[in-house]
């Protein structure tokens, strides 16, 4: 194999494959990156759980296929300053060449690689820019691998809409986007994997799925992942979206987020921030006997009761970040019931709802 390619494009593809592959495996072949040079060059990898295929434009001097350790190749390419790079097999090594440098990476046994899983059946199409909602929803997924079922995003479909829902039991996010449906969906996908896939996707994206895998494909590129257990959360979680509202606050998400950020250092050991609803504003407070106290007013349009809620600052900040640049409604319920954050759907038909569970008083 012998090819020349744009360094930045090849480095980005190698980094993406390396990011989705494990760093610690008993068999180093599973951490390998497969390069296949034909008309262009395909950069691929699979640890049997994830599968990645990315195609990069290249000038192919000699066709061929090799397997190399993903991390060293990605790190080497990212460190290069030259606009073009040449990859050439030299004996049992892959040489990475520029006009002034040469690096050599040992080849892995391609015959022992399990191959990249084929995409399952096509379920529908969605525009890539709409899939940005997945990152916002993923903010509510758990990062605790001890409870893997909460580290996923539930994906399901109905007539013309694709739904995403995640929860870590203290907050929940639900987003929907329009799509062209060709089959029903209801499955639980690892949040990290689908966020990475959505971040890479471009243009019109095909969504493939069966009972074992979900994949996104665009052009000659695809990323797929094995599914988690049976779909969760169930209908009980979705019913939380049907809130009985006691107070509605219309406020700029960025202004409120800045106030929450400034109050956080005064949140004490629990990182607690209090939102107090008043006539035409909300008061954002932090109070800690050792660190001191803060108080800031943010203009708002208020309907309903004057309620006071205390939240863990990180959870509230994550929710507000998902609505950056927009005005939002805080639909506040009395007691310890969730506060619902929503905004008007955008022109692209994307909708997002975020629920945050308040804390008990820490005063």
Owner of token pair 């987020």 = 257
> Which residues are CB-neighbours of 314 under 8 A, at least 6 positions away?
271
Using the 8-state DSSP alphabet, how is residue 360 labeled? Answer: P
pLDDT of residue 239: 62
pLDDT of residue 24: 73
**Residue percentage of the chain with pLDDT more than 70:** 94
Which among 309, 280, 319, 289 has a CA at the least distance from the CA of 136? 319
Q: What is the total residue count of the chain?
A: 363
pLDDT of residue 94: 97
Q: The tokens of 103 are what? A: 């690096």
Which among 93, 96, 69 has a CA at the least distance from the CA of 10? 96
pLDDT of residue 340: 92
pLDDT in tens, 289-336: 888 999 999 999 999 999 999 999 999 999 999 999 999 999 998 888
From first CA to last CA, the distance across the chain in angstroms is 68
CA angle (149 as vertex; 145, 152 as ends), nearest 5: 90
Q: The tokens of 287 are what? A: 């109070």
pLDDT of residue 237: 60
pLDDT of residue 148: 84
Q: pTM for this structure?
A: 0.86
Cβ atoms of 338 and 172 closer than 8 Å: yes
Q: At 238, is the secondary structure helix, strand, or coil?
A: helix
Which positions of the chain have pLDDT values less than 70?
23, 25, 230-243, 361-363
Cβ atoms of 224 and 115 closer than 8 Å: no
Cβ atoms of 144 and 195 closer than 8 Å: no
Q: At 162, is the secondary structure helix, strand, or coil?
A: strand
pLDDT of residue 291: 87
> Which residues are CB-neighbours of 254 under 8 A, at least 6 positions away?
320, 324, 325
């Amino acid at each position: 194999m012998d090819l020349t390619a744009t360094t930045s494009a090849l480095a980005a593809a190698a980094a993406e494959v390396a990011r989705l592959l494990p760093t610690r495996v008993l068999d180093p072949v599973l951490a390998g990156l497969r390069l296949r040079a034909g008309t262009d060059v395909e950069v691929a990898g699979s640890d049997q759980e994830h599968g990645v295929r990315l195609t990069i434009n290249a000038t192919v001097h000699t066709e061929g296929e090799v397997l190399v350790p993903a991390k060293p190749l990605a790190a080497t390419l990212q460190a290069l300053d030259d606009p073009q790079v040449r990859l050439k097999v030299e004996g049992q090594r892959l040489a990475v060449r520029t006009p002034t440098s040469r690096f050599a990476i040992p080849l892995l046994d391609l015959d022992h690689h399990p191959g990249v899983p084929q995409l399952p059946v096509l379920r529908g199409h969605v525009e890539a820019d709409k899939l940005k909602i997945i990152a916002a929803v993923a903010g509510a997924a758990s990062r605790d691998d001890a409870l893997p079922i909460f580290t996923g995003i539930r994906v399901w479909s109905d007539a013309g809409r694709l739904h995403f829902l995640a929860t870590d039991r203290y907050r929940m996010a639900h987003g929907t986007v329009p799509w062209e449906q060709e089959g029903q969906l209801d499955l639980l996908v690892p949040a990290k994997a689908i966020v990475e896939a959505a971040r890479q996707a471009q243009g019109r994206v095909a969504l493939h799925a069966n009972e074992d895998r979900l994949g996104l494909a665009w052009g000659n590129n695809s990323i797929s992942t094995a599914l988690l257990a049976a779909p969760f959360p169930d209908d009980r979680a979705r019913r939380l979206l049907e809130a009985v509202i006691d107070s509605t606050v219309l406020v700029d998400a960025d202004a409120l987020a800045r106030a929450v950020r400034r109050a956080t250092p005064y949140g004490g050991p629990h990182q607690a921030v209090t939102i107090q609803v008043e006539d035409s504003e909300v008061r954002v407070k932090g109070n800690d006997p050792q660190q001191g106290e803060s108080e800031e007013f943010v203009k708002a349009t208020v309907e309903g009761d004057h309620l006071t809620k205390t939240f863990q600052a990180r959870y509230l900040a994550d929710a507000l970040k998902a609505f950056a640049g927009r005005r939002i409604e805080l639909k506040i319920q009395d007691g310890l019931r969730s506060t619902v954050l929503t905004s008007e759907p955008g022109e692209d038909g994307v909708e997002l709802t975020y629920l945050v569970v308040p804390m008990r008083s820490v005063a």
